[in-house]
Structure 1
């Protein structure tokens, strides 16, 4: 049985500037076995080349740019596929700008077809320009719905979702969010795995540490979702969700023996815990993505004097 793996990065392969124990051996096993895999990240700031260099510095070699698919690439694919003649006003760092440029998507600061929001630290001047573009008819598109991004231990910064929410509030327009958990991200990534494997894997597996994006997206895309507890999700909170992962693992190190032997678990269709039940946690945990907000209307407040 051939599996194709989609793998989140932060909280799965590394945390901050340190590899998660067993992650290097896991990737080495994937490469040695010829197992198709793709790192899937909502971070639109780095390019695939940047990410390959980062993993090499952390101690993982043998991966190249083709092993990465970012929300910036997903956004560029979406625009080039659905509206190839469009123009954009982009708010974001280098990875987003590079992806748009590589797809031949032109920039327009006056009357763009879309305002595209990614990770970055935009100035109020640039946010105001984006707001004005939306007022003139541009549609609002975000590379991902993450409200915050981890920077260091107990330190975060605003993410693309937060910037998009700012523009939603100021303009009264709803953004369309790409990246995980949007099914377009998963379907495009699976297509890339087929190209990489020169054939269609029998099963696709998403490995992630976040229920709201990784696991929810996998379920909605019709593929398996493996939750690892090496990142942002605690076991106690898993039972709070209506949707559940296919398996729950301590880390990707648990999968290395299966990859080396070529014998995936026979539990692909049921949770790893025998009774399928998870303890319920306390309410109030901070979620990276306010997924429910993606479906709630945000009417523009009346102007006051």
Structure 2
């Protein structure tokens, strides 16, 4: 990305220099040529230049040989500047600004690369064999954080869809696809038991997890068609499935339990000091001394 931005900056500098040179060489003909290139139907007609004089693009009005050289050079410079500008502007993809807006730049970058900005990556289904085995507490905590961290990317996709911007929607969905292992770890670690309630809860999480990826695929297809109504409907289903998965995994957190109040009792009195083993001898009086 940095190399692309450097090349683009150099190219834009060259384009600006070429345009200035063209205008200095022959301002009237250059201005007329620019208008002619942007509106080919005006070629051969009278075009009013910025100086207010009439400029007719015909060989009979160009004068002697030096003037022809100047005109040809100005034409070449203007044509090059006009033809190169859109090409370099189209290749600029400012991902740095995009990546800085999220909590985990690494996660977003991986998702954008995996989706390839084209939506070619597909998410496979989560099966029961994927959620077997023991999960330690550290891995479960990490998976919970990764799944919770998908919310900002879902919000950003919603913003893009509402504004009919489609460039990075596939990249946001790629972030979801890249977190499939976190979904699996979360399902396996949240309900590790074999009792009927744990097995039913695990099956519910598998269904909702698969719905997340299925609806993400539907949103990807709608975004490819640039259909705003279909994209909004697919987004609503994706957001609902993601919300249900969070609830099934108890990722919204629990209300803090109130501390148990104990009755206040008076502290036990300190034990009395032990009695001396021998009686103290009184001090002698001054008369005795």
Higher relative contact order (CA 8 A, sep 6+): 1
Q: Give the structure with the larger helix fraction.
A: 2
Q: Do these two structures clear the TM 0.5 threshold for a shared fold by scoring above it? A: no
Q: Give the structure with the larger strand fraction.
A: 1
The higher radius of gyration belongs to 2
TM-score range, shorter chain: under 0.3
Give the structure-1-normalised TM-score: 0.20
